[in-house]
Amino acid sequence: MRIGIIGGGAVGLLIAGYLGQSFDVTLIVRRESQARSLINKGVTIHKKGSTINTRVRAVNQIETDHEFDLGIVAVKGYDLFSLEETLVHFGAERPLMFVQNGIGHIEWVKSLPHKHLIAGSVEHGAMKENDNTVHHLGEAGTNIALIRGNWGVMEEVVSQSVLSFPFSIQPDFGNMLLTKLFVNVCINPLTALTGVTNGKLVENQYFHHLQRDVFGELMLLFPHMEEVISFDKIADICRNTYLNKSSMLKDIESGRETEIESILGVLLDKAEEEHHFVPNMNVLYRLVKGIEREGLGG
């Protein structure tokens, strides 16, 4: 099976490194230099003192005659909208899986002509070291759910990856993505602003109290999620990924654009439309946007 993975960041490298052990994987990346590095060296995954190296193909653009049986889109949410032409090369009959944080991208995904669309929620902790190396910091799994269409070849991927890179099929993509969103909102902005690892959020009573307040505001926006996720679950994730730096903290440290719009911006729009008072989320959003602007040169 031929799998095309768009995005050579931490998540793209992690998925390629594991799936490439069983399938013909091509990484589609922006820079020619990264493509050359991947072709020459493969993907290297460091995990718990061991090293895995996987040979992969790599290109820095989609060629019209390049065909894949499955596409996995692993770029940040704000980069999705420039990919429409690229995704056309996968063909409307080929399933596409999207693994972005937040929920702001879903309506755009639904607007694509592709018949089979899959939402993914990657729970693993991953940190990119360089163009071909990633550290697998927290072992978890990847939840997937159909947005529309059918699973097709994704069923084969699930069955053959059960040990190396497990997937868990979920019945409702909306609740699945909202669960991940709750986790992101309660962790990412706070770590980005404080500079601490995930575990410190539950260890420090002041950070933890603010987490609980933010969780309460999320429940105002999505009351049905009370039956899906608890605050204790958020705390457990923080403890289980104690030494992990969130993706938003790493973006801030590197002076890169964050995913604050798709994680918090869309929620503030919803709160305003529905007349909900969410002061903590407002403050977190504005502080991250301000720091992001300074890091991007004002």
Domain boundary among 142, 171, 200: 171
Domain that holds residue 84: 2-171
Residues 182 and 167 in one domain: no
Please provide the DSSP assignment of the chain as one string.
-EEEEE--SHHHHHHHHHHTTTSEEEEE-S-HHHHHHHHHH-EEEEETTEEEEE--EEESS--TT---SEEEE-S-GGGGGG-HHHHHTT-TTS-EEE--SSSTTHHHHHTSS-S-EEEEEE--EEEEEETTEEEEEE---EEEEEEES--TTHHHHHHHTTTTS-EEE-S-HHHHHHHHHHHHHHHHHHHHHH---TTHHHHSHHHHHHHHHHHHHHHHH-GGGGGT--HHHHHHHHHHTTTPPPHHHHHHHTT---SHIIIIIHHHHHHHHHT---HHHHHHHHHHHHHHHHHTT-
Does residue 298 fall inside a structural domain?
Answer: no
Residue 117 belongs to a domain = yes
Domain boundary residue, one of 171, 200, 232 = 171
Check whether residue 151 and residue 186 sit in a common domain.
no
| Residue 48 appears among annotated catalytic residues | no
Give pLDDT tens digits for 196-221: 999 999 999 999 999 999 999 999 99
Last residue in a domain, options 151, 171, 191: 171
For residue 259, what is the domain's CATH number? Answer: 1.10.1040.10
State pLDDT tens for residues 239-277: 988 888 899 999 999 999 999 999 999 999 999 999 999
Percentage of residues in the chain with pLDDT exceeding 90? 82
Q: Among 110, 180, 200, 233, which one carries the catalytic annotation?
A: 180
> Which CATH number does the domain housing residue 108 bear?
3.40.50.720
Instruction: Examine the domain organization and report whether 113 and 202 are in the same domain.
Output: no
32 and 129 within one domain = yes
Do 186 and 113 share a structural domain? no
217 and 284 co-located in one domain: yes
Sign for the CA dihedral angle at 262, 263, 266, 268 comes to negative
Q: What is the pLDDT of residues 52-77, one digit of tens each?
A: 999 999 998 765 457 899 999 999 99
The count of domains in the chain is 2
